[in-house]
Structure 1
């Protein structure tokens, strides 16, 4: 029987109504695994390849033909906006069937949630945090809600592969299986999986099922890719003309030259009359870019055609932007962060712009994949910006790191189809604390042995020893996070209740203390650390003056004014893989140009290579900058670089006579030293050859709080997690070997 004939009638009607003439190979392969096996399934294919339909057509067929006595399919996604988008999509597919679709997250009304509890059937869409809340607060209802659970669909699987949030998700799935007495199959969906085998292993851990990864020949991808470079002021690398921005803003007021950033002027000009996304790497940059582009509209006497979308905006503003983007006739451009990187339907986009290089190949592919729907090629315009160098600047400052990184990300995928793999061999003590407290919250009093059997046996904690868990439990009892009862059982203690009795406990990612911002009756979003009364803040692409601060309710009241100021929402994380830095080094060494480099970018790369060659880069990694000042270029990733910094300071500094150490992670370390280059290599070789404990790379009495719940852990476990799970000593030793080979 062919695949189409096996689908339920309402699925066939859905396919007919859209005029599809054939099923895609991915959909046929997925149906064969779901219909004919009991295995998990990983669907790794490009954006808009039909992954959602490939998974849900056979799943919904099963649910329609064999009605379940509970929720039968759990769909987990990293963003509420993605759930909302897929909710409409699944409701459309299920029209004409008896399969209900529910969503469960913080923006869903209590009335809708009550309806789901009364009739727990069909598909439930949820975030990891809401699943955590459900397991804690509806613990006794879990068997009734999920007693016939058959499938778990994890969308955007790649976003769960390298963080504690992914670990939390898979811990929750194992806990859910045990509570409900089920063994659902897992289906992972992603457009950016570099190592399918490793991702499949991650997906299947603790499920009790094998994982199948269909090898389907994908259609050739067509990309329209460009990368241009701009100095923020002065002559450009390609044409030595300072007139580019002014040409775009030729009718601007006298203030225009101050505001005319050539890179943003380039974006302003090439988004006119089109629907586009402009991606930035931080919310601060997103706000700043949107402010400038809106001011350009004002100077040009054009209607405002720019919107903004990031995680600190209110749900109303985000959803409003999403709705406008879906309007096929709206030629607007939205400045966004990673909130629009994942698979939310934002209509037919013509272009995506990326300001500076993202941190990962995965991020680059996801952002470019927002375009190129309905047979059109994906289109990404990189815009690299930097300040003009000053005459006294030294070599490392003169290198265009973002340009090199952008080229490296593109080339790694074009040459090798490489994407960052899952992180393994972790000691996730922060998550261990969280799941311990969550388990006690949900299950009530239990003995230490029972608690350990529930928590320590979860697959994500396979590298945590029983001794370490005993150390953790003793510390939590001592600090009243948990309490030992007269019967020898454990319950949540008074100090623990202050942590767990808060909706923020459901999340394992780090959060800043945020204040909601209000302009009259409209909520604009949230900020961190509000300024004094009368000061200005930037949010939602505009500037506002603070009128009132209600610190008890954590609310800020503002009114709008004109102007431009920087925004601040908290720190930005950037975990750059060693392979990216190694590719950047190769780019410096190569002679070839890349076809997607535009005039300025090509010229900037050429002059960078000439400058690097004159200095001895990239073959030589230790460069003398004059007298006793040196710069080391390790060409390794963020966490190996961090380990190397500490190795130099703690293991080598006294022998090297280190002074004035200045690092720009993960690109270079600048310092002065009292020994020769030859001595540097010799000392580095000797110290690296010694057998030392990773804990030796922590400073005396240092307790490096790195993850959200580290503050509740015993100091020894915090130090151990940082040394063994954050610092990448294996890659550090490889990098040192590469550096010291120059001595031979």
Structure 2
């Protein structure tokens, strides 16, 4: 079977004839998906593009088919396309598929990441493939390696495809990727086309601009191409309350027998507990999470892909686009912390013709049940979180200066700007560079800058591998009592009195006295606090967003999430509303004055609440949770209105900067400010400070 040009669009939006032929005859496709068709013209034109579709929406093909068409029709030679993902597992998964596509037109695909051996690397360097699948860290390693002639290797690059762009953009790895790409673009001596692939995001235009970097200065065309799945059947989503992981296992052992079920858990410990309980019930069960070895995860994922009547229990490791075959059901134990994460997981289902996307939420306690209800309420309104790159990546600027000195041997003191061409990652670079020179991380001689003795001391072990290692996306601290891991907390929970042991840390329904905090290991060692009976202010240490918390407040005020509710869920929802009846009011945020102080039920999230505390100068005398703030007795509504939140940042322990990658290469105060700014929510704090307040008696004091 073959196809004519008219079947695939007119001259301005058609693929190469060879690609079209193989799509029909090798894949058996009679037509492209909407995103794939819509992406042809903008990608082939050379525009910077952001391609958006739900999980399994055909984004990889939407980018690769037109790029391969350009490669053939325009005679590209050498390494011309770099394909970047955040996960090695995703690269491994994509490699055989992209090899097939490239082979259609006589081209080759190479794979390079930390698990690839020296033999394969030497082959790639000796005879570069047309397409290279890799990670940002591996690109950096190639740039600084003396074994790689980086000028020759990257000279022919014309396009870069960034898969799971939202995952990069929300963390420092995204800033690092952009900075590395600017250096490769300078080596290539031409503008490199940038193509981002993403699930649904709330601010696509802003993310495309961010991805473009210095390309925004060249006037290059840009386009967001989105397939939001609007014509698909409405997803089948159910919220249930089961009360424990053991009960969740019992439900799963009885539901959907004979089907393939992917179950997401919120922690590794929960995933292991659920897997054990399922196996006790003779359910064929596989496990995937970050603490398992690569081989163990691959075996589980492969076995799950080939099986039918089974369950795979996973954390967020399977949220991104790794192919584990067709699924029948997605089950969520408790709730993720964002709508975007839920959409990723929901998109795992409904891929086969005649099936619909589906999700079953099984909540194990009331707090998680209410979080799920709030999340589903947000989702049903069509809300998706904006992706916000972390502000002020000064530490990445420091890393880039050191990496450039390694890459080039030296760089001109007055010409370094050319390497990043105004990329936003270097906005505060002058101050950073001054510090690096003053502290002898870098030294200047004859108008050129070289690696200095302090960099050799702090980063020089293992040939500067510390400069190339992974970044911390969201700094969370493991809480450990003896050999038992209790859970994780945000650094915002580590207030002065908690760190000093004067006040307990609240976690897993118990109070804990902090014995030590090791920021480099992201670990808090605790003992159970015998005074826990005196603790009366509930805390939820993992920071939730303002929007998630306000949606939960709306649920508590009587709005039902627009999904199916089980009978148990309906009862539990009423229980939750009764429990929090004094904490929500149609008239505004509830403020209760009692013997312990002023309880201010903001429902604004930990970051906004801590930012407001900082704006009011109360870091030593107020406490915050996601739900609200415990204020000193004398504080009133007028104090809220006078709070200046525009420059406020939450208090963080000075030692916390040890958890910020490359913080040693920044002045101490600047490193602390950089980290604190990342936990600020000024917009949420301003809403709290200006929204109506309902003053009510505190009947429980």
Equivalent residues of 2:53, 2:228 under 8 A apart = no
**Residues of 2 paired with 1:16 and 1:439: CA distance?**
47
Q: Does the alignment pair 1:56 with 2:64?
A: yes
Distance 1:618 1:502 in 2: 57
Task: State how far apart, in whole Å, the 1-side matches of 2:23 and 2:473 are.
Answer: 42
Deviation, structure 1 residue 498 = 2.6
1:18 aligns with 2:27: yes
Counterpart contact for 1:703–1:718, Cα < 8 Å: no
1:439 matched to which residue of 2?
Answer: 404
* Separation (CA, whole Å) in 2 of partners of 1:24 and 1:380: 24
Residue matched to 2:224: 213
1:345 to 2:314 alignment: no
Helix, strand or coil for the counterpart of 1:121? coil
Corresponding residue SS for 1:214: strand
Deviation (angstroms), 1:75: 0.5
Cα deviation per residue 1:646-683 (whole Å; 9 max; x = unaligned)? 345x3487xxxx5xx5543x233346x433xxx52123
1:292 to 277, 281, 286: 277
2:174–2:389 Cα contact (<8 Å) kept: no
Name the counterpart of 1:506: 468
Spell out the pairing of 1:625-664 with structure 2 (5 A cutoff): 627-647=595-615, 650-651=617-618, 658=621, 662-664=623-625
Asked if the contact 1:652–1:683 (Cα under 8 Å) also holds between the matched residues in 2, the reply is no
In structure 1, what is the equivalent of residue 285 of structure 2?
A: 306
8 Å contact 2:613–2:619 — kept in the other structure?
no
Greater CA drift, 338-347 or 26-35 = 26-35
| Residue 721 (structure 1) aligned with residue 691 (structure 2) | no
Q: CA deviation digits over 1:472-505, x for unaligned, max 9?
A: 324xx42x43344577633243214436725453
Cα distance change of structure 1 residues 191 and 380 upon mapping to structure 2, 3 Å threshold: same
Distance of 1:366 and 1:173 partners within structure 2:
27
Tell me the SS of whatever aligns to 1:694: coil
Counterpart in 1 of 2:538? none
Residue 615 and residue 714 in structure 1: after superposition, are their counterparts in 2 closer, same or farther (change >3 A)?
A: closer
Q: Distance in 2 between matches of 1:415 and 1:291?
A: 37
Quote the Cα distance in structure 1 between the aligned partners of 2:468 and 2:648: 32
1:667 to 618, 627, 635: 627
Match of 1:231 among 225, 228, 243: 243
Structure 2 equivalent of residue 361 of structure 1: 339
Query: Structure 1 length as normaliser, TM-score?
Result: 0.77
Shift in alpha-carbon separation, 1:486–1:637, aligned structure 2, 3 A: same
Following the alignment from structure 2 to structure 1, what is the Cα–Cα distance between the partners of residues 568 and 523? 31
Q: Which whole-Å deviations, capped at 9, do the CAs of 1:547-587 have from their partners, x for residues lacking one? A: xxxxxxxxxxxxxxxxxxxxxx9679955332222222222
Q: CA 1:286/1:645 → structure 2, altered by over 3 Å: closer, same or farther?
A: farther
Residues 701 and 108 from structure 1, CA distance in 2 versus in 1: closer, same or farther, beyond 3 angstroms? closer
Deviation at 1:104, TM superposition (A): 0.7
Distance 1:453 1:31, change over 3 A: closer
Does structure 1 residue 269 correspond to structure 2 residue 269?
A: no
Measure the CA separation in 1 of the matches of 2:73 and 2:442: 47
What secondary structure sits across from 1:261 in the alignment? Answer: helix
* Distance in 2 of aligned mates of 1:536 and 1:583: 34
Q: Which moved more, 1:68-77 or 1:446-455?
A: 446-455
- Which residue matches 1:482? 442
Residue 182 of structure 1, aligned match among 190, 202, 206:
190
For residues 458 and 150 of structure 1, what CA distance do their matches in structure 2 show? 19
Relative to structure 1, is the Cα distance of residues 495 and 724 closer, same or farther in structure 2, using a 3 angstrom cutoff? same
Map residues 108-147 of structure 1 onto 2, 5 A cutoff. 108-137=116-145, 141-147=149-155
Q: 1:20 to 1:443 in 2, by over 3 A?
A: same
- Secondary structure at the aligned position of 2:237 is classed as strand
Verify the 8 A CA contact 2:640 2:690 in the aligned structure 1: no
1:293 is paired with a residue of what secondary structure?
helix
| Counterpart contact for 1:310–1:336, Cα < 8 Å | yes
2:241 counterpart SS class? strand
1:330 to 1:702, Cα distance in 2 relative to 1, 3 A: closer
Task: Give the direction of change, closer, same or farther, for the CA distance of 1:632–1:507 in structure 2 (3 Å limit).
Answer: farther
Can you list the C-alpha shifts for 1:209-246, whole angstroms capped at 9, x where unaligned? 331123557432431211111223xxxxxxxxxxxxxx
Structure 1: gaps spanning 5 or more residues: 233-259, 387-399, 513-527, 539-568
Among candidates 348, 360, 363, match of residue 381 of structure 1 = 360
Give 3-state SS (helix, strand or coil) of 1:194's partner. coil
Preserved contact between residue 609 and residue 624 of structure 2 (Cα < 8 Å): no
Q: What is the Cα deviation at residue 71 of structure 1?
A: 0.9
- Counterpart selection for 1:495 from 440, 445, 457: 457
Structure 2 gaps, min length 5: 487-520, 525-540, 697-701
C-alpha distance in structure 1 between counterparts of 2:142 and 2:693, whole Å: 54
1:256 aligned partner: none
Q: How many angstroms apart in 1 are the aligned matches of 2:447 and 2:55? A: 56
C-alpha separation between the residues in 1 aligned to 2:669 and 2:396?
16
Measured in 2, the distance between the counterparts of 1:352 and 1:436 equals 45
Aligned residues: 629
Q: How does 1:273-284 map to 2 (within 5 A)?
A: 273-284=258-269
- Spell out, residue by residue over 1:509-541, the C-alpha distance to the aligned partner (whole angstroms, 9 max, x if none): 2399xxxxxxxxxxxxxxx99999xx8999xxx
